[in-house]
A and B are shown apart, each in its own frame.
Chain A
């Protein structure tokens, strides 16, 4: 069991044993708490004792636990880590929230951070510790089928293979994760033929090819850990886009392709927050000095398969030594944000989402108010071309209130306003028919395959009381056509809902559980966007 699923009391204990705890879970690469830091137990971020450094870190850094344990022995500095996605961390830094709770941030890269002028005053010393390029991990049989020499594959070849329907892949959401964003920058550079840092013109020029390239993206994710798990369930996805280090650590063989026309590389700078107390700054300096020793660098490359940054330390034998062109990261926020916006609203396959919402009697009052507010806030996040269905239920699905909207790029406000209005009219009555309603959602989505990222969000505040039982739903799900079984359910723990019941649903359908009992419902819904 991963630390975040332990009860609150144990979570506090786990923190004191954090290094060991994360070491135990790092087989799954990522124990990200994901987007909203609020979902974490607050004991996590209490003021640090002497020799403790509170660090907000990229989720894949969970694999550094053994190295940090060595560092603690050598320097006396204990690192207390909280994991977050890049975008979330940047927001926390910009808003000033990070500096209240952490002394340092340790992201895969500070490139995006630096484009945000509102974060500039909040960070000081940056010490890159190790590097890893963003690459493609392709199933060896797919490499053979495509007749590729992994050393020589270019972005154009990847694009052509996808356009010809011969290559599919999974990638994290560029808006939430640096690996996804770096991949987006790489492929936009590669397909536009940009010779130096990307411009708006390059992005426009590459748009038709990029759209073709992203038809091959069959999996999206808010975190690299879940992406690897989801990939493991699918035999029809040929490749994963991620850091070289993550790809090489993924179970099951993957041939790592660093496209020969260029990559974007993460350099993991341990970065002090300006507001950190002097003692923490001193601890950070001791820690970074240690991490830059040849001994620590050797351990890092052997343990995590990232590349060392100290002369004379060779990369682990599994890392290919051939040099690659480094594709420049955009130097202006307008280009970076323009690229992200294009990805969301034009380039990627559209999302298709059903929100199965518990509006049973127990939701009456404050809970319903919170649900309405959360949906209203969420509407701003719906992407162009996205199809959204609100499916409220009590003792059964409330058919009269079920509506489906598609966000029209020509007038995106129309669907968003309508969804907000519908949410405002929700009312609480009846029992809680979780499983019948979920099966209705699958039926509503239908079996005709559509070229979308399809998912179901389940929000409930209680246990199942009406209709189909858990076993019935299991049987129903297993009978679904293979294509439909690719649609995951993302349950949201809220009110008095039963964690084990919802965990089981996530497990069965290949989804992921989100906890809104300690944080906000908006936060959970927002975080789920990364998976849709």
Chain B
């Protein structure tokens, strides 16, 4: 396949991906909730949100708590990194899963002062592992495990070195005892061009690989592009939402290492679901998914304030596994019974800053690119 044809195709795919997200954003799920019989008149606010928050907004208790404060919230989902492409007239707020797009949305807003973003809750990216895989990683210096063996730290430097060297599971001692641990060692993530968690994974990896620097442009992207391409290409087909690989993991199929949001795991634990042989590995350098609300109207601003401050809504955010902003005794208290899985204080976990949307998109494009000639 010639270079020209190839890059034209990539451009076309990009165009289409953008179109999807735009269309998706305009069309998707209305979650106004069922209960409309509250006595008080409520104000309806419309917003566009990252898909991982749709369960929160459709939770009947959340609908009720908002209604008690006089708000009915109607949401549509969109990829976080594509919200800035949406026409935002008619919306009261946008609620992406990262600070980067929130900053860009604010820059676009007619009244920038009013659009000061709020971060009601956040969730770090973690790696879920089956216990066999986690123990082999620990036995080979790629991870450390806590006393119970159900949570630990993934050493990103060591992991990226293994990826650079195309390390296979069978080159790690102890792996040969486990049938499923063969083939190249890699973490399953989502398509970074379509999904926030996949893009944030690249952000964390590039930060580590580039000696603790946040990519700030083409040169920086070029420095880490070969490694990021490798992280992506070994995976083959990637899903477009972190729900799918997490469900495969729960089902006992799929890759033994899967990148998810901590909130996905915490929500399961808080619902009292037994987690089998799950081990939660916190990368020593990770990225937070900062669920950042950009108010576009007074109604949007009020919603942001309620989500950040209202005790009931903060408690409900915890139910869905999110960490409320600031000192969050709600999260600590609720997750105390699951301390063997969750690193409540994020001890030993460093947050990598996230590049701007434009840089991150460039990174994703270069990583997904099949030809390697662009």
Whether B179 lies near A260 (C-beta < 8 A) is yes
Q: Which residue of A lies closest to B170 (CB)?
A: A195
Whether B253 lies near A126 (C-beta < 8 A) is no
The distance from the CB of B10 to the nearest CB of chain A, in whole angstroms, is 10
With A274-B20, A311-B273, A325-B180 known as contacts, the answer to whether A127 contacts B243 (CB < 8 A) is: yes
Among candidates A111, A114, A325, A328, residue contacting B179 with C-beta atoms closer than 8 Å: A325
Whether B16 lies near A117 (C-beta < 8 A) is yes
The answer, yes or no, to whether A303 is at the interface (CB within 8 Å) is no
Give the contacts of A297-340 with B (CB-CB under 8 A).
307-312, 315, 321-332, 334
Which residues on A sit within 8 Å (CB–CB) of B29?
125, 281-282, 285
When chains A and B are docked, how far (Å) is the Cα of A307 from the Cα of B16? Answer: 34
Whether B30 lies near A282 (C-beta < 8 A) is yes
The answer, yes or no, to whether A133 is at the interface (CB within 8 Å) is yes
The answer, yes or no, to whether B165 is at the interface (CB within 8 Å) is no
The binding surface of chain B is classed by DSSP as loop
Which residues on A sit within 8 Å (CB–CB) of B374?
none
When chains A and B are docked, how far (Å) is the Cα of A74 from the Cα of B178? Answer: 42
Which residues on A sit within 8 Å (CB–CB) of B233?
196-197, 331
With A267-B247, A331-B370 known as contacts, the answer to whether A126 contacts B240 (CB < 8 A) is: yes
Whether A117 lies near B241 (C-beta < 8 A) is no
The answer, yes or no, to whether A275 is at the interface (CB within 8 Å) is yes
Q: Which residue of A lies closest to B237 (CB)?
A: A329
When chains A and B are docked, how far (Å) is the Cα of A111 from the Cα of B235? Answer: 12
With A128-B243, A195-B166, A307-B253 known as contacts, the answer to whether A322 contacts B179 (CB < 8 A) is: yes
When chains A and B are docked, how far (Å) is the Cα of A261 from the Cα of B268? Answer: 31
The answer, yes or no, to whether B250 is at the interface (CB within 8 Å) is yes
The answer, yes or no, to whether A278 is at the interface (CB within 8 Å) is yes
With A133-B253, A323-B179, A324-B253 known as contacts, the answer to whether A197 contacts B234 (CB < 8 A) is: yes
Whether A196 lies near B179 (C-beta < 8 A) is no
The distance from the CB of A435 to the nearest CB of chain B, in whole angstroms, is 49
The distance from the CB of B13 to the nearest CB of chain A, in whole angstroms, is 5
Which residues on B sit within 8 Å (CB–CB) of A128?
243-244, 247-248
The answer, yes or no, to whether B348 is at the interface (CB within 8 Å) is no
Whether A334 lies near B370 (C-beta < 8 A) is yes
Give the contacts of B308-324 with A (CB-CB under 8 A).
none
Among candidates B17, B19, B28, B256, residue contacting A125 with C-beta atoms closer than 8 Å: B28
Among candidates A267, A322, A331, residue contacting B244 with C-beta atoms closer than 8 Å: A267
When chains A and B are docked, how far (Å) is the Cα of A194 from the Cα of B233? Answer: 13
When chains A and B are docked, how far (Å) is the Cα of A269 from the Cα of B243? Answer: 11
Give the contacts of B247-270 with A (CB-CB under 8 A).
247-248, 250-256, 268
Which residues on A sit within 8 Å (CB–CB) of B184?
195-196
Whether B256 lies near A274 (C-beta < 8 A) is no
When chains A and B are docked, how far (Å) is the Cα of A115 from the Cα of B9? Answer: 12
Which residues on B sit within 8 Å (CB–CB) of A130?
251
The answer, yes or no, to whether B144 is at the interface (CB within 8 Å) is no
Chain B 54-91 near chain A by CB (<8 Å), digits 1 or 0? 00001000000000000000000100000000000000
Whether A309 lies near B273 (C-beta < 8 A) is no
Give the contacts of B96-147 with A (CB-CB under 8 A).
130, 132
The answer, yes or no, to whether A120 is at the interface (CB within 8 Å) is yes
Among candidates A115, A133, A262, residue contacting B237 with C-beta atoms closer than 8 Å: A115
With A195-B166, A262-B183 known as contacts, the answer to whether A307 contacts B235 (CB < 8 A) is: no
Most buried by A among B19, B28, B273: B28
Which residues on B sit within 8 Å (CB–CB) of A330?
236-237
Q: Which residue of A lies closest to B248 (CB)?
A: A267
Whether A126 lies near B244 (C-beta < 8 A) is yes
Whether A285 lies near B23 (C-beta < 8 A) is no
Which residues on A sit within 8 Å (CB–CB) of B9?
117
Which residues on A sit within 8 Å (CB–CB) of B132?
323
For B, the interface residue count at a CB cutoff of 8 angstroms equals: 60
When chains A and B are docked, how far (Å) is the Cα of A28 from the Cα of B191? Answer: 38
The answer, yes or no, to whether B174 is at the interface (CB within 8 Å) is no
The distance from the CB of A164 to the nearest CB of chain B, in whole angstroms, is 24
The answer, yes or no, to whether A20 is at the interface (CB within 8 Å) is no
Which residues on A sit within 8 Å (CB–CB) of B255?
326
Which residues on A sit within 8 Å (CB–CB) of B166?
195
Among candidates B23, B28, B252, residue contacting A121 with C-beta atoms closer than 8 Å: B23
With A121-B16, A274-B23, A311-B274 known as contacts, the answer to whether A331 contacts B252 (CB < 8 A) is: no
Chain A 320-363 near chain B by CB (<8 Å), digits 1 or 0? 01111111111110100000000000000000000000000000
Which residues on A sit within 8 Å (CB–CB) of B272?
312
Which residues on B sit within 8 Å (CB–CB) of A276?
27
Q: Which residue of A lies closest to B15 (CB)?
A: A117
The answer, yes or no, to whether A124 is at the interface (CB within 8 Å) is yes
The distance from the CB of A258 to the nearest CB of chain B, in whole angstroms, is 10
Chain A 232-274 near chain B by CB (<8 Å), digits 1 or 0? 0000000000000000000000000000111101010100101
When chains A and B are docked, how far (Å) is the Cα of A126 from the Cα of B243? Answer: 9
Which residues on A sit within 8 Å (CB–CB) of B51?
125
When chains A and B are docked, how far (Å) is the Cα of A92 from the Cα of B70? Answer: 45
Whether B243 lies near A328 (C-beta < 8 A) is no
Which residues on B sit within 8 Å (CB–CB) of A260?
179
The distance from the CB of B25 to the nearest CB of chain A, in whole angstroms, is 9
Whether A195 lies near B77 (C-beta < 8 A) is no
Which residues on B sit within 8 Å (CB–CB) of A195?
166, 168, 183-184
Which residues on A sit within 8 Å (CB–CB) of B273?
294, 310-312
Which residues on B sit within 8 Å (CB–CB) of A115?
237
Which residues on A sit within 8 Å (CB–CB) of B239?
126
The answer, yes or no, to whether A198 is at the interface (CB within 8 Å) is yes
Most buried by A among B31, B132, B248: B248
Whether B253 lies near A267 (C-beta < 8 A) is yes
Among candidates B58, B236, B247, residue contacting A328 with C-beta atoms closer than 8 Å: B236
When chains A and B are docked, how far (Å) is the Cα of A197 from the Cα of B237? Answer: 8
Which residues on A sit within 8 Å (CB–CB) of B241?
125-126
Chain A 118-157 near chain B by CB (<8 Å), digits 1 or 0? 1011111111101101000000000000000000000000
Which residues on A sit within 8 Å (CB–CB) of B58?
285
The answer, yes or no, to whether B164 is at the interface (CB within 8 Å) is no
Whether A120 lies near B16 (C-beta < 8 A) is yes
Among candidates B186, B252, B275, residue contacting A323 with C-beta atoms closer than 8 Å: B252
Give the contacts of B152-186 with A (CB-CB under 8 A).
166, 168, 178-184, 186
Whether B236 lies near A274 (C-beta < 8 A) is no
Which residues on A sit within 8 Å (CB–CB) of B370?
331-332, 334
Among candidates B181, B240, B247, B274, residue contacting A309 with C-beta atoms closer than 8 Å: B247
When chains A and B are docked, how far (Å) is the Cα of A328 from the Cα of B233? Answer: 10
Q: Which 7 A-B pairs have the closest CB atoms?
A: A197-B236, A328-B236, A196-B234, A323-B180, A311-B273, A309-B247, A329-B237
New A-B contacts (12) at CB < 8 Å, excluding given A124-B27, A197-B234, A326-B254: A111-B237, A117-B13, A122-B20, A194-B183, A196-B233, A267-B247, A274-B24, A309-B248, A311-B268, A331-B232, A331-B235, A334-B370
Chain A residues near B (Cβ < 8 Å): 111, 114-115, 117-118, 120-128, 130-131, 133, 194-198, 260-263, 265, 267, 269, 272, 274-276, 278, 281-282, 285, 294, 307-312, 315, 321-332, 334
Q: List 21 A-B contacts (CB under 8 A).
A: A126-B239, A126-B244, A194-B183, A260-B179, A262-B183, A267-B248, A269-B244, A274-B27, A278-B27, A281-B30, A282-B30, A308-B251, A311-B250, A311-B273, A311-B276, A312-B273, A323-B256, A325-B182, A325-B183, A330-B236, A331-B232
Chain B residues near A (Cβ < 8 Å): 1, 9, 12-13, 16-17, 19-20, 23-24, 27-31, 51, 58, 77, 130, 132, 166, 168, 178-184, 186, 191, 232-241, 243-244, 247-248, 250-256, 268, 272-276, 278, 370
